[in-house]
Structure 1
Amino acid sequence: MPPTLSTVNPSQGPTTGGTTVTLTGSGLTGATAVRFGSTPAASYTVNSSTQITAVSPAGAAGAVAVTVTSPTGTSNAVTFTYVAAAVPVITGVAPTSGPTSGGTSVTITGTGFTGATAVNFGATPAASFTVISAGQITAVTPPGSPGGAAVTVTTPGGTSSASANAYFFYAAPPVLNAASPAQGPTAGGTLVTLTGSSLLNAGAVLFGSTNATSFTVVSSTQITVTAPPGTGSSPITVITPGGTSNPVGFAYVAPPTLAGLAPNSGPTSAGTVVTLTGANLATATTVAFGTVPVAFTVVSDTQVTAVAPAGAAGPVTVTVTTTGGTSAGLTYTRVATPGI
């Protein structure tokens, strides 16, 4: 009694062949041939008396009869349809940029991706890829050189053509050379100029682990950024599609405080040397008696000496301004010289 066939699954495949199909039926033991139309299967395996797996040969678009032959005869036919595979088309790549080191997970959208056998970035195969559907592939970028790389998908229907929507741009890693100024108050607000290279398309500027909320990419070699509040040493880094830059130093300076003046009074004439004591005085930029800046010497982080200016008799407020801000004032009193 000849074999019988009941189903073929899947029931269609590309004209290029290579589809693995499962044939079910009965009396399949000892099969000597599996044919798609008049063409022998590329290969086949008899799994049991009720199942054969076969690989379709190449064929013309359209339906063909699949049959199994054994020593007892040839089976009835089941239908397999050859479908002309469409050339894949890419309509989008996201994200469109990433580091030259590779490793970016990219979603490719378009049509005709079923059966994709290759995804390339320029001439380099993707590190890996997964066909999600006929309209979507996820791929991991290989390493590449700075610049644009055409993304292509190859299927049994052919290879997609390059288009404006099918490019991935490799970005060189950002490099920082300097931050100016390299310190500022703990309250933040210092406008810092960063210089370096490959700074375009920066997505974040960090002071330590804190994101700066305000920055401007001036050029590929310069960024201006407003320092957020912080304390201590907070190295600055820049993040771009090319990766994270090397750090450059930035230090937060605590605001100055004054604890005492010695002496705390003097004549209305100039020249009295006053010793100011306190904390966080090392970066002093100004000592003022009222609104009048005076000559001064930073002795240590806790001591500054200043020369009192001439002024009217009475109290005047003494302040110290440093990189960390301006201190609260202490009172210095000018005493008029008694008349004769």
Structure 2
Amino acid sequence: KVGVTAYTAPVPTAVTPSVGVTTGQTLITLTGTGIDGFTALPVCRFGVRDVQGFLSSGGALCLTPTAPHPLAATVQLSISIDGGITFSTSSTPFVYHRLPILSELRPSIGLATGGTVVTVLGTNILESATLKCKFGPSTVDGNYSSFNGGSAVCVSPNLPIDVYSLSISLSGQSSEHSEPLNYTAHPPIVVSNLEPSAGPSTGGTSVTITATNLINSTFAQCKLGEEGQQESPFTATVSADGLTAVCVIPSGSDGEKPIWLSLDGQDFRTNNATARFIRAQQPTTSYLQPRYAASESGTALLIVGSGFIQTTRSLCSVASVYSPATVLNSTHVNCPAYAISSRSRSQQTGNFFPDLANAGMETLTTGGTSDRVVKFAMDGQLFSSSSLTLTYFASHSVSSISPAKLSVSESATITVTGAGFRTDGADAAVLRLGSTTSTCTVSSSTILLCPFTAPAQGIALIGELSLNGGVDYEGHNSVFLLTQAARPEVAAATFQSTFTAIDITFASPATDRAAFRNAVNGSTSCGTDATSPCHVITERQLSGTFDCGEVLATESVALLGDGAGCVWADNSTLTIFLGSTPTLALTDSLLLLNNTIMRGLEVSLPLESATGNLTLTAPMPLPVPAPAVQAKDVIGPCDVLTLSTLLSSGAAGRTLTFTWEVLWNDTASTITEAQGAALNNSINASYVTSDIQTATLAASEVPTGTIVLRLTASNWLGFSTNITRTIVKSTSDVPTITIDSPNPR
């Protein structure tokens, strides 16, 4: 008797996951009715291949066998709950697939805070309800998309800042993940600057965004607009060094809006919108001042129009030669128009605009012109259409002005002679001398007639000429006007009390401390370019001690002695320090050089400088020589006789002249005439061959007895004084006394 147990036939309704790799070993859960109501182990049939499973509370669990085909296949999955004897008549499909091969992540970068939607492209990506995405250590649910023949869509989790491996698994099981691609979790972007900050509303402005935490990304995008009202994104390109991003502004409505930047093209939350961009109508230009410019100096342009906006990139274009623009207000713009010719006629200019790039250079012949269109761009890129034209004219040359010298406050008509003076009458010719301007009459292209009144002081004024109505002046080093000032007058030339120096004092007006006209800054190359502008006259100030030959005639300098020097004590006092062995006497005079010592702060002419012979005076009373003799009163028979005049005074700053006499016939003398004559010769010979202030005689040269000497001292002023001195030469040695002291000094 055999027992038979009746059971309800199983009906499988779902399998999870419904996909698995062709190599098998995917753990699936089969659910339905009648599956878990029997005690026998279940058997799963994948097409024609059976595998034994086991029961769980959720249904039957089985490991998939290998696929019937190595590429891919869909098989029907049925179940047996009687040990494989009978199988369910119904089944559910199971899809075998090859392991996905990933080719691209869109985007491959996102904020570390997560939320970036990543589309994973590749092959072998099938629809699956169990699709998983793995970002490094974190696994999240994914979704299938039919895009590009099948792709996975993953939302990035919150991750530490780093580069991660991103892979997918269609079954959701870790053993079936694909080979990964790199995904970067980046920190928030902080925008710090935007250039340019404005552009035309028609679009096309290329803006450079400076920000921190930039990473090179092909998915970067920009947006314009307030938060919640942002426009459609547009492409951004991140620089290779990760410092800036560039995006091209599309067309849109006028107004100022924040600009946002995203590296993944999705998340624009973290920029704080610190940079703002202004869309505005393209500016219009209507008037240009000046309309003419000298070719060798250029000019400063004033453009009048409407809609001007200042940015750090605002530019003017003069025939595609660009220069920085300064927007004064919405209707006025300043910008330089560079010189277009090398400087040959014009040696200097008050306004000089060199084109350091030498773009658009050309040579204009005398009388030639060159017309160039002027435009403005607020963004430095998209220039307004314009009918404004700047006409360059060949720079003029000036050869002379006449008269070249005027008295202070004198009025005259100055004739300017040169070449290239404009005769079209479009702009006035203006002569500027110093700070005074004069509108000239153009007599011809080579002659101008300019009324002028000289200033009330002696000064050198450069001749500068404007041929565009006084806007720009070009100057010439060799052309200047001198106005004549009163000459400095010498008040006195007096020896100082020591007679080693002479003070020359000047009455009011004081001198200019001997400022000399010199080659321009000592250079012959100034004025050839913008880095070495010339000044009409450069005056070099003599400071400290200088060669007296700068201010005195050669014959006067020769009297001062070797090593003499001059120094300006102040604007009214010139001090001459005498050198060694001067020969200057009170009866001599000093001769000043012409055109050297001039009026203070004014350039004087040759006839208006201090000049003439200076009569010397001396301080009173005049010094009288005071001779003094140092010698022993008594010397022994073997002693030398030393005579010194070192303590003499009254030399008046030079050397005293000494004369010795032996008074053999004096009543106190005991030596003979012959002895006196011999001694006299010995003393004077000693002064000639030795120190002129000390004579040393050997004992054999000094006779025994009482000797009376007369010393006469004379100074260079002509004064003399004499004294006598008695010396005894003994026949016996003179005792020497020594006093010991506990504290010798």
The TM-score bracket by the shorter chain reads 0.5 to 0.7
Partner of residue 191, structure 2? 176
**Distance apart, 1:98 and its partner CA:** 4.0
Distance 1:157 1:297 in 2: 66
Distance 2:236 2:426 in 1: 44
**Distance apart, 1:124 and its partner CA:** 1.8
- Match for 1:19 among 7, 27, 30? 30
Distance 1:36 1:94 in 2: 44
Structure of higher RCO (CA pairs closer than 8 Å, 6+ residues apart): 1
**Distance apart, 1:200 and its partner CA:** 1.2
**Distance apart, 1:9 and its partner CA:** 2.4
- Match for 2:175 among 159, 171, 175? 159
Please say if residues 105 and 141 of structure 1, whose CA atoms lie closer than 8 Å, have aligned partners that are also in contact.
yes
Distance 2:223 2:205 in 1: 12
**Distance apart, 1:151 and its partner CA:** 2.9
Within-5 A mapping of 1:228-247: 228=250, 231-241=254-264, 243-244=267-268, 246=271, 247=273
Is 1:147 matched with 2:169? no
Partner of residue 333, structure 1? 426
Please say if residues 131 and 144 of structure 2, whose CA atoms lie closer than 8 Å, have aligned partners that are also in contact.
no
- Match for 2:101 among 84, 87, 91? 91
Distance 2:326 2:153 in 1: 65
CA RMSD of aligned residues (A): 6.0
Per-residue Cα deviation, 1:34-64 (whole angstroms, up to 9, x for no partner): 4226998445xxxxxxxxxx82266897998
- Match for 2:87 among 56, 76, 79? 79
Is 1:56 matched with 2:69? no
**Distance apart, 1:291 and its partner CA:** 12
**Distance apart, 1:320 and its partner CA:** 7.0
- Match for 2:378 among 316, 323, 333? 323
Partner of residue 200, structure 1? 216
Give 5+ residue unaligned stretches, structure 1.
Answer: 25-30, 44-53, 69-75, 266-272
| Mean Cα deviation higher: 326-335 or 94-103 | 326-335
Per-residue Cα deviation, 1:226-260 (whole angstroms, up to 9, x for no partner): 55556443543333227336242233464143369
CA separation of 1:123/1:66 partners in 2, compared to 1, >3 Å: closer, same or farther? same
Give 5+ residue unaligned stretches, structure 2.
Answer: 17-24, 44-52, 67-77, 225-230, 293-299, 336-350, 352-365, 391-424, 430-440, 444-448, 450-745
Distance 1:112 1:317 in 2: 66
Higher strand share: 1
Count residues in correspondence.
300
CA separation of 1:142/1:278 partners in 2, compared to 1, >3 Å: closer, same or farther? closer
Partner of residue 35, structure 1? 40
Distance 1:177 1:139 in 2: 32
Other structure's SS at 1:78 match: coil
Is 1:258 matched with 2:263? no
**Distance apart, 1:123 and its partner CA:** 2.0
Structure 2 counterpart of 1:239, one-letter code: S
**Distance apart, 1:150 and its partner CA:** 4.1
Please say if residues 145 and 152 of structure 2, whose CA atoms lie closer than 8 Å, have aligned partners that are also in contact.
yes
CA separation of 1:96/1:7 partners in 2, compared to 1, >3 Å: closer, same or farther? same
Distance 1:275 1:115 in 2: 70
Please say if residues 257 and 279 of structure 1, whose CA atoms lie closer than 8 Å, have aligned partners that are also in contact.
yes
CA separation of 1:211/1:10 partners in 2, compared to 1, >3 Å: closer, same or farther? closer
Partner of residue 485, structure 2? none
Please say if residues 192 and 226 of structure 1, whose CA atoms lie closer than 8 Å, have aligned partners that are also in contact.
yes
Partner of residue 330, structure 2? 301
Distance 1:170 1:292 in 2: 45
CA separation of 1:122/1:182 partners in 2, compared to 1, >3 Å: closer, same or farther? same
CA separation of 1:333/1:234 partners in 2, compared to 1, >3 Å: closer, same or farther? farther
Distance 1:156 1:287 in 2: 63
Distance 2:79 2:206 in 1: 75
CA separation of 1:15/1:8 partners in 2, compared to 1, >3 Å: closer, same or farther? farther
Other structure's SS at 2:276 match: coil
The structure number with the bigger radius of gyration is 2
Partner of residue 51, structure 1? none
Partner of residue 9, structure 1? 12
Structure 2 counterpart of 1:91, one-letter code: I
Partner of residue 104, structure 1? 117
CA separation of 1:258/1:317 partners in 2, compared to 1, >3 Å: closer, same or farther? farther
Please say if residues 116 and 155 of structure 2, whose CA atoms lie closer than 8 Å, have aligned partners that are also in contact.
yes
Other structure's SS at 1:218 match: coil
Distance 1:171 1:225 in 2: 20
CA separation of 1:20/1:238 partners in 2, compared to 1, >3 Å: closer, same or farther? same
Per-residue Cα deviation, 1:256-308 (whole angstroms, up to 9, x for no partner): 433697x999xxxxxxx9997542356486698x9999xx99764335799xx
Is 1:218 matched with 2:228? no
Paired-residue identity, %: 16
Distance 1:178 1:91 in 2: 42
Structure 2 counterpart of 1:129, one-letter code: G
TM-score by length of 2: 0.30
TM-score by length of 1: 0.57
Distance 1:192 1:302 in 2: 24
Other structure's SS at 1:159 match: helix
Distance 1:210 1:132 in 2: 24
Distance 2:223 2:190 in 1: 15
